[in-house]
């Protein structure tokens, strides 16, 4: 029987680092988790146990730390580009490199009405993300964010939906709408100011979520993606994944009390999940 090796890759995941940039009177930090994956001519390692083309994954880890020392890590996309350039330069056996980067977002602790110069706090699980795929012909860059929790208490409805014999959900003209935004977007080739664009996209999605008169989470997802594509020339495509985090009105009638939309029970599972990709035509 003939056996053929299919698509394969190898690399190092879970490379964590905290980069501190120390300036007079001010410190800046970046906390990153990096994954490196190589694709290329590795068949002999699989079929013959020949490791001559295998760069140790420990070396990949060390490279991340060395380049983190050499560069300020001002934007995760820029740091990932440095990694791709380095690995392609020194590894002729590699044809394709994938770098995934996730940044934990820290904010300065306020002190006396001003941001502290060297003390930081995390306000949640939100992360800035990037996925770069580099070859010797070029690099594709996707930036994004994950675990951005949002909620609004009005301007959201869900009515006129399909019913079948098992449908029990009641229509709601004024409900709580909450989700956890996962989004990533594709940059067109050319120069991009990564950090200003990332913050701009995030703010655009937040403002659209807050102001949109929602008829469903699908309706709001489309509005958010449309707003990003209309306002950022360098973005050609955006993917959004929005779980519908449900809040159920608590029945207080057994206690002789009404509940005019004031007390709710948050539920995590099961939840609806809405996903879509929007692109410029």
To the query of whether residue 57 is one of the catalytic residues in this protein, the response is: yes
**Using CA atoms in the order 243, 239, 163, 246, what is the torsion angle rounded to 10 degrees?**
10
**Cα-Cα end-to-end distance for the chain:** 48
Residue of 86, 152, 219, 246 marked active site? 246
Question: Among this protein's residues, is 12 annotated catalytic?
Answer: yes
Handedness of CA 5, 9, 10, 14 (dihedral sign): negative
Which structure tokens are listed for 152?
């609004």
> Annotated catalytic, 30?
no
**Active-site residue, from 27, 33, 53, 57:** 57
Residue 45: how many other CB atoms lie within 10 Å? 16
- Three-class secondary structure of residue 246 per DSSP: coil
Strand partners of residue 108: 120
- Sequence length of the chain is 281
In the structure encoding, which two tokens stand for residue 11, read together?
């690399």
Place of tokens 């295998």: 54
Phi first, then psi: what are they for 19, rounded to 5°? -105, 125
Q: Which of 12, 30, 127, 182 is catalytic?
A: 12
Strand arrangement of the beta sheet that strand 127-134 belongs to: 10-23, 26-40, 94-104, 127-134, 139-152, 177-187, 235-244, 272-279
Q: Residue 90 corresponds to which tokens in the numbers above?
A: 């020194």
- In whole angstroms, what is the distance from residue 184 CA to residue 88 CA? 25
What distance in Å separates the CA atoms of residue 98 and residue 96, rounded to the nearest whole number?
7
Please identify every residue annotated as catalytic. 12, 57, 246
């Amino acid at each position: 029987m003939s056996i053929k090796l299919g698509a394969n890759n190898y690399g190092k995941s879970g490379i964590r680092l905290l980069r501190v940039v120390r300036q007079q009177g001010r410190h800046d930090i970046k906390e990153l988790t990096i994954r490196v994956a190589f694709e290329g001519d590795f068949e002999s390692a699989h079929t013959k146990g020949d490791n001559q083309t295998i760069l140790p994954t420990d070396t990949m880890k060390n490279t991340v730390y060395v380049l983190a020392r050499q560069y300020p890590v001002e934007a995760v996309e820029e740091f990932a580009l440095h990694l791709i350039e380095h690995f392609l330069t020194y590894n002729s056996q590699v044809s394709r490199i994938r770098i995934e980067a996730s940044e934990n977002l820290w904010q300065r602790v306020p002190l006396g009405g001003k941001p502290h110069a060297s003390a930081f706090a995390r306000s949640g699980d939100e992360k800035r993300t990037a996925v770069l795929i580099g070859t010797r012909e070029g690099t594709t860059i996707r930036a994004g964010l994950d675990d951005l929790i949002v909620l609004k208490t009005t301007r959201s409805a869900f009515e006129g939906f399909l019913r079948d014999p098992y449908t029990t959900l009641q229509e709601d003209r004024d409900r709580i709408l909450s989700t956890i935004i996962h989004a990533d977007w594709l940059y067109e080739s050319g120069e991009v100011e990564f950090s200003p664009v990332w913050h701009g996209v995030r703010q655009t999605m937040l403002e659209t979520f807050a102001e949109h008169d929602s008829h469903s989470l699908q309706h709001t997802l489309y509005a958010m993606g449309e707003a990003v594509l209309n306002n950022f020339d360098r973005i050609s495509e955006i993917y959004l994944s929005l779980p519908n985090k449900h809040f159920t009105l608590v029945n207080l009638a057994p206690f002789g009390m009404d509940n005019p939309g004031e007390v709710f029970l948050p539920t995590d599972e099961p939840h609806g999940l809405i996903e879509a990709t929007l692109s410029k035509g």
